[in-house]
Structure 1
Amino acid sequence: MRIALHAKAVHPDSIPYMRQVVEELVARGAELFISKTFQKHLHNFGESFPDARLFSRTDSLEGMDFIFSLGGDGTLLDTITYIGALELPVVGINTGRLGFLATMPKDKIREVIDALYNSYFSYDYRSLIHLDADQDLFEGRNYGLNEFTILKKDTSSMIVVHTYIDGEFLNSYWADGLIVATPTGSTGYSLSCGGPLVLPQSNNFVVTPVSPHNLYVRPMVVSDNSVISFEIEGRSNHFLVSLDSRSRTVDASVQMAVRKEAFRAKLVKLSDYNFFDTLRQKLNWGLDNRN
Structure 2
Amino acid sequence: MKKVAIFGQVYKDADEVYVSTLINVLNKAKTDVYINKDFADSIKNTGLKFVDHLDTYDGESGLDSTFDALITLGGDGTILRAFNQIKDLNIPILGINLGRLGFLATVQKTEISKAIKEFLKGEYIVDERVMLKVTSNENGPEFTSLGYALNDLTIAKKDTNSMIGVDAYLNNEYLTTYWADGLIVSTPTGSTGYSLSCQGPVIMPNTNNFLITPVAPHNLNARPIVISDNTEIKLKVLRREDQFLASLDARVSTIDVETEIIVTKANFTAKIILLKNHTFINTLRDKLLWGYDTRNKSVNKQ
TM, length-normalised to structure 2: 0.91
Decide which of 57, 69, 87 is 1:84's aligned counterpart: 87
Identity %: 41
Shift of 1:38: 1.3
State the distance in 2 between where 1:119 and 1:8 align: 27
Match of 2:113? 110
Q: Residues of 1 paired with 2:35 and 2:138: CA distance? A: 31
Relative to structure 2, which stretch is displaced further, 183-192 or 281-290? 281-290
Q: Give the corresponding residue for 1:228.
A: 233
In structure 2, the CA distance between the partners of 1:121 and 1:193, relative to structure 1 (3 Å rule), is same
How far apart in 1 are the matches of 2:80 and 2:43? 20
- Per the alignment, residue 189 of structure 2 pairs with 184
User: Offset at 1:33?
Assistant: 1.2
SS at match of 1:86: coil
Equivalent residue number for residue 219 of structure 1: 224
The alignment covers a number of residue pairs equal to: 289
Do residues 166 (structure 1) and 171 (structure 2) align?
Answer: yes
Aligned counterpart, 1:52: 54
2:299 aligns to what?
none
- 1:41 corresponds in structure 2 to 42
Once the two structures are superposed, residues 34-85 of structure 1 have per-residue CA deviations (whole angstroms, 9 ceiling, x without a partner) of 1123123323423351222222224152211110011111111111111111
Please say if residues 136 and 145 of structure 2, whose CA atoms lie closer than 8 Å, have aligned partners that are also in contact. Answer: no
Match of 1:120 in 2: 123
CA distance in 1, matches of 2:108, 2:146: 29
Tell me which amino acid in the other structure corresponds to 2:105.
A
Runs ≥4 in structure 1, deviation > 6 angstroms? none
Give the letter aligned to residue 245 of structure 2: L
Cα deviation digits, residues 254-290 of structure 1 (max 9, x gap): 3211011110111111121222121111012222343
Q: Distance in 2 between matches of 1:185 and 1:232?
A: 22
Q: Where in structure 2 are the equivalents of 1:4-19 lying within 5 Å?
A: 4-19=5-20
What is the rounded CA distance, in whole Å, between the counterparts of 1:141 and 1:71 in structure 2? Answer: 25
Q: TM-score, normalised by structure 1?
A: 0.95
Show structure 2 runs of 5+ residues with no match: 297-302
Shift of 1:11: 2.1
Question: Which AA in structure 1 matches 2:94?
Answer: V
Q: Residue 195 of structure 2: SS of its match in structure 1?
A: helix
For the 8 Å contact 1:32–1:51, the answer to whether it is kept is no
> How far does the alpha carbon of each residue in 1:215-245 deviate from its partner, in whole angstroms, 9 at most, with x for none?
1110000000000011102421111101112
The answer to whether the Cα contact below 8 Å between 1:67 and 1:89 also exists between their aligned partners in 2 is: yes
Secondary structure of the structure 1 residue equivalent to 2:292: coil
Distance in 2 (CA, whole Å) between partners of 1:101 and 1:151 is: 25
RMSD over aligned CA atoms reads: 1.6
Q: Which moved more, 1:19-28 or 1:49-58?
A: 49-58
Q: Tell me which moved more, 114-123 or 183-192.
A: 114-123
Matched residue of 1:59: which SS?
A: helix
Which of residues 128, 133, 136 in structure 2 aligns to 1:133? 136
Q: Is residue 2:150 matched to residue 1:145? A: yes
1:64-79 correspondence to structure 2 within 5 Å: 64-79=67-82
